[in-house]
Amino acid sequence: MLRIGIAGCGGRMGRMLVRHTLDTPGVVLAAGSERSGGDLVGADVASVVGAEPVGAAITDDPAALVAGCDAVIDFTTPAATVAHADLAAARGTILVVGTTGLGASDLTRLSEAASGARIVRAPNMSVGVNLLMALTRKVAATLGEDYDIEILEHHHRHKVDAPSGTALGLGEAAAAGRGVDLDAAADRVRDGHTGAREDGRIGFAVLRGGDVVGDHTVMFAGPGERIELTHKASDRAIYARGALRAALWAAERPNGLYGMADVLGLG
């Protein structure tokens, strides 16, 4: 049985991960963490979803979290994630990262840590979204620059980063399909008199409101026709199921940095 630890187990996504870990064959809930001073510290990790105790107290010590399990699933913050990556590398622990908002320096840290650990990192752990990314890359590679690429995303009103990590991942897929660098091609903000759209740009539009779990559309707008690839999430359980699938997959792999495309055989 693979022993799973959940970073930020008391949060909305953390609770979802706890619930699905308890229900997933082949894994056991072995550890959980919360930020220092949190009300849940010291409680049994299964208590966050009202389940029977599993004998593992929630800790506020990242080192104790990593030491208490075979794999850590982390949907927390960039600072916490890179700290977990360093600890995972020191112990050879699996780390599954669904954290968004990671910067270039954070991604470098994850890459460095992967020399000592199996790290699976994806901007979105959903199987459907990763299929969407593969399709986006294929369509972008097939269509020429006569087709303008626009990425639209809509999330709940509490989301703090924009564009979403998933939208940026879709942008990376589109850019890879066209053989260009996303940073050089992206239009992430439009305001005022912007002039006509430049050829080859990849545009982003962001919506925030209500309780939307996550909607993403990649639009290829060409002369006389428009192709739209869309994924709509209605339940965060899809992210938990994908993360647990990634942890089980990584248990059979050597150290290295992987993505959900690897897990799903889409590489």
Is 144 one of the annotated binding-site residues?
A: no
Residue 52 annotated in ligand binding: no
Find out whether 89 and 113 touch, Cβ atoms under 8 Å. yes
To the question of whether residue 59 is assigned a binding role by annotation, the answer is: no
Catalytic residue among 20, 84, 154, 155: 155
Q: Is 209 a known ligand-binding residue?
A: no
- 34 annotated to a ligand binding site: yes
> Where would I find the beta strands (DSSP E) of 25-158?
27-32, 71-74, 94-97, 118-121, 148-155
Q: Answer yes or no: is 122 a known binding residue.
A: yes
- State the Cα–Cα distance between residues 261 and 266, nearest whole angstrom: 5
Q: Say how far apart CA 254 and CA 119 lie, in whole Å.
A: 10
Q: Is 231 annotated to bind ligand? A: no
Residue 92 known to bind ligand: no
Return left, alpha or beta for 24; rule: phi > 0 is left, psi -120 to 50 is alpha, else beta: beta
- Give the separation between CA 267 and CA 252, rounded to whole angstroms: 17
User: Of the candidates 99, 48, 92, 49, which has an alpha carbon nearest to the alpha carbon of residue 74?
Assistant: 99
**Is 231 known to be catalytic?**
no
Distance from C-alpha of 170 to C-alpha of 172, rounded to nearest angstrom:
5
Rounded to whole angstroms, the Cα distance separating 58 from 48 reads: 10
Question: Is 99 annotated for ligand binding?
Answer: yes
**Which of 159, 193, 216, 231 is labelled catalytic?**
159
Q: Judging by DSSP bridges, how do beta strands 214-222 and 148-155 pair with one another?
A: antiparallel
Asked if residue 128 belongs to a known ligand binding site, the reply is: no
| Residue 20 annotated to the active site | no
Determine if residue 210 is labeled as part of a ligand binding site: no
Residue 9 marked ligand-binding: yes
Provide the annotated active-site residues. Answer: 155, 159
Q: Which residue positions form the known binding site for (S)-2,3,4,5-tetrahydrodipicolinate?
A: 156, 165-166
Q: Which residue positions form the known binding site?
A: 8-13, 34-35, 98-100, 122-125, 156, 165-166
Q: Which residue positions form the known binding site for NADP(+)?
A: 35
Q: Which residue positions form the known binding site for NAD(+)?
A: 8-13, 34, 98-100, 122-125
